[in-house]
Structure 1
């Protein structure tokens, strides 16, 4: 029997919400009143749904008072602080897209992102963790009456303390700026007039994709609407069965869709409570929050879970009510899932898949999925979403065949900000007029509609003309008792063109397995050609003690490729089998 086409459709129930963030804020405040909406443990701040609504009005008025109007962009670069949430809600209320700026940006990258997004107002922390951002603030404000590099920027607001010196762009503290919302000229009628101009299909949030290239190249900012983000958060929260009794712990950063949408908005749309333990990932504070706040749901990427398990092993702490969690960025191995169940009490960890341009989730596993699907797939499509797998010529493939994953439906971005060319490259209409996002991810759709992501198409290792997919090698390596984490990349080779190289982190307190043992381990199950030719252990000479990662926790494979090729082709033989 011929396999079915690799095309799946999500259910059309429940109906999509067509509402703005401002209307959602007021609805949730009326419904949940003094119920705690967000906890910022490291700031000793707890905010109720009513307090967030009131503060969003005050801050929205302050934004209007300085002259912002519908469509003007607001930037924010900060850790996971309460001011971040207030800025996001206020901007959404008055129709000003909020540009979330990556915490790892250099000063030049920050200036470039602010310039590309035409921000008129930027909120910035003076520091994030131990990182001082005074240089970032200096480059924003300039040294002349008006910063020539940022002609649209009118004001910079420092979230903590004050910044002295010769400021070209006007500087204010957060408290001073907020007090402007109490101006006699900014009454409720002015705010309501601004709110009346906002539409559900308007842009709520700008998120730069991970290939932003500092001051060069062509950075892309995804335009995500109120409909995009509110419904995506709602459906993902439904998958986790969230209620007002749940307490979520969110270590991922707010500048990424994971923290902002799958964290805050998931919780907010369901009347839950969300906890931000620290301004950046601090495993000690996360573990403390799990216990002290009686957390029921934990969010993160696998590397975070591994660190949390190691910390709990040392302290003996264990959450009381933790029932589930959400992982994104990479798959959770069966071994890690077993540890989460045994040591944290997590019965099932959900896996979400998507991309910034899709708000972000299009596939997610279910609490009712069998274990075989829960740990080896990214689940099935969410409601009001479709997906297909195509070959390099755009031809629809069959179930079980590898190809590029494309998605369509409500979650697709409006496009890239002021970049129609890049929008047309990645979002294409088919013969029926349906718009599809080409993800760049290689995938398989199985007979039951589950998606198996086999890796980025550009990350495929081509050994002697044969395609090798890094993810299956990584998953096999992490099943070895001596390997904690693994990342497979292409290493240049004179004979085969490319061979497999693996960067590995060993399990603490165990003997490091020999390279030959790992090659045999992989080859037994996947075939000899997929066995690693090179093994690089974190912490060895010339290799850092941790994987290079983006601010959202994803491993930078291109950096590992550069490191591996440099080690190999500079004459090192230690990594060679």
Structure 2
């Protein structure tokens, strides 16, 4: 195929002129300490503590020795369930030094979910913090671990106390744990020998990608995966030793750990974690106190921060750049961020946990028309393509499933060969591709626009009476005779309304069309409540009639809930919203049927 023909297809490759780093995280810690020494590396403003690059070198060695003194060896897995705290970083770095993969456990897990994740990943030691999402202590979680595990597990408590009673669990405080490293007779030379067993291609991190019920999936990510992706994220943001990043996203998510901490660490910057879990007021306080120049987040976080700042103004003049991931930033929100928070440039990143995580991102050089309506261009040493149902690469401008390849692909799902083979497939040329499950389009200039999750697409058609089971079974990107409706374009239109600050669009069951469009919206405080007719008319002004919401639900109503259901990283849980919408429609239908029977 000629170069001209190839350029007409939806396949792109990033530059390869600058080589990838082939180093371990332990070696990188040493290198960064030599280069940046007393430069502040991390700040946990809520803990009133900070550490320099040299401090992290020293503390990571102590933790590594403490793990060895606790009987943890190369290849053993160390789990962490905690909010954003300094101890999290120290354990992550210390475990990496001696080749112990760190299993990051979602701090919002219910007790049974935590037990399943720890059991599945076969952790030998788990670090636990009492502060966690929506709860003040983890006594129930720890009790279930003590009763549910049949093998020895060591617990290290970042704070709080736990009496293991008659269980096999061995519990110690973090200070006593680190003291093992301080009292260790293991010399630095002997520690270096232990570190020499670690290879850059080894797994350094395990991240669960979709809960732990049924068949849990834990992505295995290597030193090469994380270090290079983090470095390239930082470079696209133009991070340097003069930049100070504010990072509200959680460390148990690749946004906080890789794009956040490691992105800053690999580029010699400082990073600030303002709170153990997201708190918009603490974010704003940290930006003001630490003079942060870059702010990370998802759109829902930015909305909350804008609302909090409107109630109590801070000095945010140091801010100049933002990085968003998870979903697009609507123009209306971008205007507010620029006007109220001083963010002049907002970059957008796209990827998934299994790709370490970033594949595409915008840049400072993006043309204005691509800055917010795309996820930018493909990363170096990475390729991406858009395919149809038969696996053929589609022409530029045609929608299909996004697939990616390159250094950043996960090593596979832990102990799940079947799911690994489903998601990662070799083409005829021997290139391994990750099938993302996202629908997107690549334009003639190589910019990618993500149009949504394939499973979230609304399929509206007269012959589509079983939309959800059919979609789950086929994962198809084209309906068999219905209309494919992409939620994101409707959401963008809704968010352009001055009174709507947050919106999510899902498909709900419909007797005639199989699925119909429903939207959940949150309005600005003190704004008059919009009517469902007005909301539909607003969408119809720029989009087709079939895309106008037939059903409108308001966040704040008792039957809906006070807030959008969200993941720990702030993304809307659309499957939960679909369930809420279906329930409310059933209740309405039953009530109407009852009224008819009463009249008869």
Does the 8 Å CA contact 1:43/1:81 hold for their aligned counterparts? yes
Q: 2:406 aligns with which of 406, 409, 416?
A: 409
Alignment of 1:30 onto 2:27: no
Cα distance, 1:480 vs. partner?
1.1
Counterpart of 1:487 in structure 2 is: 504
Alignment of 1:251 onto 2:248: yes
Counterpart of 1:436 in structure 2 is: 433
Counterpart of 1:530 in structure 2 is: 547
Count of residue correspondences: 566
Cα distance, 1:212 vs. partner?
2.8
Counterpart of 1:363 in structure 2 is: 360
Q: In structure 1, what is the Cα distance between the partners aligned to 2:157 and 2:211?
A: 27
Q: In structure 1, what is the Cα distance between the partners aligned to 2:507 and 2:286?
A: 39
What's the CA shift string for 1:457-504, capped at 9, x where partnerless? 011101111110100010011111121111110111111111100000
Does the 8 Å CA contact 2:65/2:184 hold for their aligned counterparts? no
Alignment of 1:558 onto 2:557: no
Q: In structure 2, what is the Cα distance between the partners aligned to 1:413 and 1:59?
A: 27
Cα distance, 1:13 vs. partner?
3.0
Counterpart of 1:95 in structure 2 is: 99
Alignment of 1:286 onto 2:291: no
Q: In structure 2, what is the Cα distance between the partners aligned to 1:29 and 1:165?
A: 39
Counterpart of 2:52 in structure 1 is: 48
Structure 1 unaligned residues grouped into runs of 5+ = none
Counterpart of 2:309 in structure 1 is: 312
Q: 2:138 aligns with which of 133, 141, 144?
A: 133
What's the CA shift string for 1:2-27, capped at 9, x where partnerless? 88101000111321000000010001
Counterpart of 2:159 in structure 1 is: 160
Structure 2 unaligned residues grouped into runs of 5+ = 462-481, 593-600
> 1:497-536 residue pairs with structure 2 within 5 A?
497-536=514-553
Does the 8 Å CA contact 1:287/1:312 hold for their aligned counterparts? yes
Cα distance, 1:511 vs. partner?
1.7
The alignment partner of 1:570 has SS state of helix
C-alpha RMSD of the superposition: 1.6
Q: 1:543 aligns with which of 538, 560, 564?
A: 560
> 1:67-466 residue pairs with structure 2 within 5 A?
67-128=71-132, 130-142=135-147, 149-151=149-151, 153-166=152-165, 167-213=167-213, 217-464=214-461, 465-466=482-483
Cα distance, 1:191 vs. partner?
1.0
The alignment partner of 1:511 has SS state of coil
The alignment partner of 2:20 has SS state of coil
Does the 8 Å CA contact 1:477/1:521 hold for their aligned counterparts? yes
Distance 1:39 1:109, change over 3 A: same
Q: In structure 1, what is the Cα distance between the partners aligned to 2:161 and 2:229?
A: 37
What's the CA shift string for 1:30-70, capped at 9, x where partnerless? 11111111111111111111111100001101111122121
Q: In structure 1, what is the Cα distance between the partners aligned to 2:76 and 2:319?
A: 41
Higher mean C-alpha displacement, 33-42 vs 507-516: 507-516
What's the CA shift string for 1:423-468, capped at 9, x where partnerless? 1110000001100000000111111111111111011101111110
Counterpart of 1:17 in structure 2 is: 21
Q: TM-score, normalised by structure 2?
A: 0.92
The alignment partner of 1:455 has SS state of strand
Distance 1:298 1:65, change over 3 A: same
What's the CA shift string for 1:127-151, capped at 9, x where partnerless? 3264311111222233xxxx6x352
Q: In structure 1, what is the Cα distance between the partners aligned to 2:436 and 2:292?
A: 34
Q: In structure 2, what is the Cα distance between the partners aligned to 1:255 and 1:165?
A: 25
Counterpart of 1:57 in structure 2 is: 61
Counterpart of 1:471 in structure 2 is: 488
Cα distance, 1:163 vs. partner?
1.6
Does the 8 Å CA contact 2:249/2:296 hold for their aligned counterparts? yes
Q: TM-score, normalised by structure 1?
A: 0.96
The alignment partner of 1:525 has SS state of coil
Cα distance, 1:99 vs. partner?
0.2
Q: In structure 2, what is the Cα distance between the partners aligned to 1:277 and 1:408?
A: 35
Does the 8 Å CA contact 1:74/1:119 hold for their aligned counterparts? yes
Cα distance, 1:574 vs. partner?
12
Cα distance, 1:367 vs. partner?
1.2
Does the 8 Å CA contact 1:141/1:170 hold for their aligned counterparts? no
Does the 8 Å CA contact 2:405/2:434 hold for their aligned counterparts? yes
Does the 8 Å CA contact 2:164/2:170 hold for their aligned counterparts? no
